[in-house]
Amino acid sequence: MRLRSIMTIIFCITAIAPLAIFWLWPHSDVLDKEIREVRERHLVIAENIAATLDRYETDITSVFRFLKLDIPKHSDISHYSELFKNMNINHICIANFNSGLVLRSIHSGNMNCPKQVPAERLEWMKQQMGSSLEKVTMTGVMPSKDGVNVFYVLQKINEKLYIGAFSTQFLKDLGSKVSFGDKGHAVITDKAGKVVSHPNQEWEEARKDLSDLHMIKMLKSGQKGVTSFFSSSQKERMIAGYVPTQSNTWNVFVPQPLSELQSKADSIKLTALTVMGIGLVLAIILAYFATKILTNPIEQMVEAMKSIGNGELWAHEKINVGKLQAKEFTDARESIKTMAEKLQENIDTISRHAYLDGITGLPNRECFRVLAKEEIDKLSISGNSGALLFLDLDGFKQVNDVYGHRAGDDLLLAFSKRLHEHCGQFMKRYARGVNNALTVLPARLGGDEFVVFLGNIAGPETTSEFASLLFSKVFGKFNLHNGVTLDISGSVGGAIFPTQAGDFDELLRLADIAMYEAKNSGKGRYCLHKDVDDYFENLSPSSAYEEA
């Protein structure tokens, strides 16, 4: 049987069979399918919100630990105003653990600590801390003295109670961003089940207690999942995905009325019936004519796909496009072309990611290892010398902790650009022809660690000069996003090839040790691993060159 005859029969069967099956398909299956998709979608949304809250809680804890150390030094936050604004901090104070008398505080605007923590609230705070008095504890939501909802971050140190008051604005904004369908939304409660973020503003302001919901009880036990319940706010049954945060400080659930799913299922069924009816008529009329057009391009596409599978990524150009050819084949040809181009892009991307650092664009550890070993092999043949410098940014972890990982990534990118520019200028400065020209290879090993390989150096003084210029041209002030300006210094260690190490791994190890010697001696310094012997003094003029 010819392909066109087979295609005609298949067209008719595929057009008639789905319609017949659809008439036998219970309507409830459409609804069940929609509910299954909603269950997955709502749970994913809830998990994403919970993950954001986990990160927010981590940031709050880090900021609280940092700021509480500064309370004895300052009485206002003029130097932390932006941080207080971004983190929604009202005040942080130190109170006597037993009496509640406030000893010191830093605050935002008029949101100052009271002179004494009320006895009832002090007892409530102690209950929230439980037996973990020495650990940082995040409380549920409570009204402040001004009637604004806040939550507290608490920690006992000796006989002092450190109290941080945080506005719930971030949580409210986070919940309000989730809206879908007609009434789909997100709800955030504290661990006791009191509303923090809800479309019903009155529930938000009154901290509506939802602890009687079975879903809240499941959340309190640390469970997540999907359930249905009757909403007194929406006056109808809802389906919701629910997830607690990792510390069980906040609960998230994402509900949607079941009636919306019912309407969508009805719409899907009606649309499917209409489309399938039209498709049946068109399929019977056009089946014969379509098969004539299908045969040739299908064979061409099969051959092209085989060729692409064998590595000939441009085989799609062999597919002919006729004037009477169906648009689907034209689209298929373009899809094959796009796929081939995408495959080539992916191959290029994989190759690039295998050798370049994703943040700075510099060679990564493995790429640097390969390139540096190649340079070392060349130096071994020519008899010239080289050096490896190990750079470490001082205080980089504190940048991430205080300003966030976005600022850390921006700093790494800005630093790498300066380093790359300095390497290029230094290499041009010591250009001495093809065979003995200075080579400079920068790379990022990971974290805040960078390396630079210098090839064809005249002596350790070349390495020292390069390292010295790092502190004047690379390290220094960096302007990051949100107006953050940081003065970044670093520690640099160096090792010489071949007088101190004869291979790459040993050279890297010695440079690393020298870097830590520089860091331990006061940071912001350069340290060569150890004194170099008279090797350079004995080099012939052809093996070394004078500095510019």
Report pTM: 0.45
Rounded Cα gap, residues 456 and 439, in angstroms = 7
pLDDT for 305: 78
| 512: in domain | yes
Among 344, 343, 342, 295, CA closest to 320: 295
Whether 493 and 449 have beta carbons less than 8 Å apart is answered as: no
| 357: in domain | no
512/384 same-domain check: yes
460/426 same-domain check: yes
pLDDT for 276: 62
Q: Tell the residue number behind the tokens 């090993």, with chain if given.
A: 445
Neighbouring CB atoms inside 10 A of 329's CB total 20
240/283 same-domain check: no
Rounded Cα gap, residues 319 and 492, in angstroms = 59
DSSP summary character for residue 208: -
536/407 same-domain check: yes
441/498 same-domain check: yes
382/521 same-domain check: yes
Among 489, 488, 547, 493, CA closest to 518: 493
Residue 202: burial class (beta carbons within 10 Å; 0-12, 13-18, 19+): exposed
| 120: in domain | yes
Neighbouring CB atoms inside 10 A of 195's CB total 24
pLDDT in tens, 308-324: 777 777 776 777 766 66
pLDDT in tens, 331-379: 777 787 788 777 777 666 666 667 899 899 999 999 999 999 999 999 9
Rounded Cα gap, residues 9 and 17, in angstroms = 12
pLDDT for 535: 35
324/230 same-domain check: no
| 280: in domain | yes
pLDDT for 293: 64
Whether 420 and 362 have beta carbons less than 8 Å apart is answered as: yes
pLDDT for 298: 73
421/489 same-domain check: yes
Domain carrying residue 343: 311-347
| 356: in domain | no
Neighbouring CB atoms inside 10 A of 492's CB total 28
257/269 same-domain check: no
381/506 same-domain check: yes
pLDDT for 501: 94
Query: Residue 161: beta bridge partners?
Result: 95, 156
pLDDT for 289: 66
69/153 same-domain check: yes
Residue 94 sits in a domain of what CATH number?
A: 3.30.450
408/517 same-domain check: yes
The whole-number mean pLDDT for each consecutive block of 10 residues of the chain, a chain of 548 residues, reads 68 68 56 70 89 90 78 62 81 89 79 85 88 83 85 89 89 88 87 90 90 87 86 82 90 87 65 64 67 69 76 72 67 78 71 80 94 95 95 90 89 95 90 73 95 94 95 93 88 96 96 95 91 39 32
Residues contacting residue 307 through CB under 8 Å, at least 6 positions apart = 315, 318
End-to-end CA distance of the chain: 83
Q: Tell the residue number behind the tokens 């997100």, with chain if given.
A: 186
